[in-house]
């Protein structure tokens, strides 16, 4: 395995260990929690799973970005999706155009210098909007020229809830708890419920690992790669 693939695997293993430890604390008698404490921590367990999930997205994409940056690719050779992401991420003015004349001048001068660069340098950190839904995950994947997830994927298809439905229910539960809302209408967090969302996150992490490794190994974010595949 490459250093990049080893880094991804280590990232996943650390998170699997954390998930295992959460389950052991909450759903075994090892720590002899009182019912009150068990009820409190059990409700929060879905938020804990989500924190592990979003943390994986942030750290894995930072590793992916570092790997692309280390290849010293000419910006004109990357695919349009990544190029648009790179420009919008580098210049927030595209989302909020400056009003003042001096700020406009600064913007266009910086933009001129940007297009003179001959080596791609992506910024670390991605905007998940603190809510990695099915739609946001796929938007991030597309921006980095990685194949998005279909709604019906792997075990997440009829008669089971599809992937979009599972991620929506996962986020609805997490957001209800995280934002202090009423969770009485949600399903209680039994070990089966915990394991359902743990499996969801685990499945997604392993599949993203495969997608990222394929993208890096074959430089799927470059136009040169696209031309070679077209031949």
Q: State the chain's mean pLDDT as an integer.
A: 90
158-170 per-position pLDDT tens digit: 999 999 999 999 9
Cβ-count burial 151-173 (b if 16+ within 10 Å, e if not): eeeeebeeeebbbbebbebbbeb
Residue with the two structure tokens 């799927």: 220
Which uninterrupted H or E stretch holds 143? Answer: helix 134-143
Please give the backbone phi and psi of residue 189, each rounded to the nearest 5 degrees, phi first. Answer: -85, 85
**DSSP assigned state of 123:** P
Q: What was the pLDDT predicted at 74?
A: 95
Q: pLDDT tens, 49-61?
A: 999 999 999 999 9
From 152-156, 158-162, 225-229, the region with the lowest mean pLDDT: 225-229
């Amino acid at each position: 395995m490459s250093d990049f693939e080893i880094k991804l695997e280590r990232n996943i293993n650390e998170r699997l260990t954390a998930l295992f430890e959460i389950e052991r604390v909450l759903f075994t008698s090892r720590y002899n929690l009182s019912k009150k404490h068990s009820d409190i921590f059990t409700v929060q367990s879905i938020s804990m799973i989500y924190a592990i999930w979003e943390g994986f997205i942030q750290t894995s994409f930072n590793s992916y970005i570092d790997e692309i940056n280390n290849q010293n690719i000419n910006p004109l050779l990357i695919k349009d999706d990544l190029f648009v992401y790179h420009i919008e991420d580098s210049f927030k003015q595209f989302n909020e155009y400056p009003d003042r004349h001096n700020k406009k001048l600064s913007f266009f001068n910086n933009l001129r210098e940007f297009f003179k660069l001959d080596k791609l340098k992506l910024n670390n950190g991605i905007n998940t909007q603190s809510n990695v839904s099915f739609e946001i995950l796929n938007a991030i994947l597309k921006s980095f020229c990685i194949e998005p997830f279909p709604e019906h994927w792997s075990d997440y298809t009829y008669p089971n809830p599809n992937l979009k439905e599972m991620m929506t229910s996962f986020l609805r539960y997490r957001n209800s708890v995280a934002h202090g809302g009423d969770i009485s209408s949600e399903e209680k967090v039994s070990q089966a419920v915990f394991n359902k969302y743990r499996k969801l996150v685990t499945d997604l992490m392993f599949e993203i690992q495969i997608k990222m490794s394929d993208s890096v190994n074959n430089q799927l974010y470059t136009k040169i790669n696209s031309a070679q595949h077209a031949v």
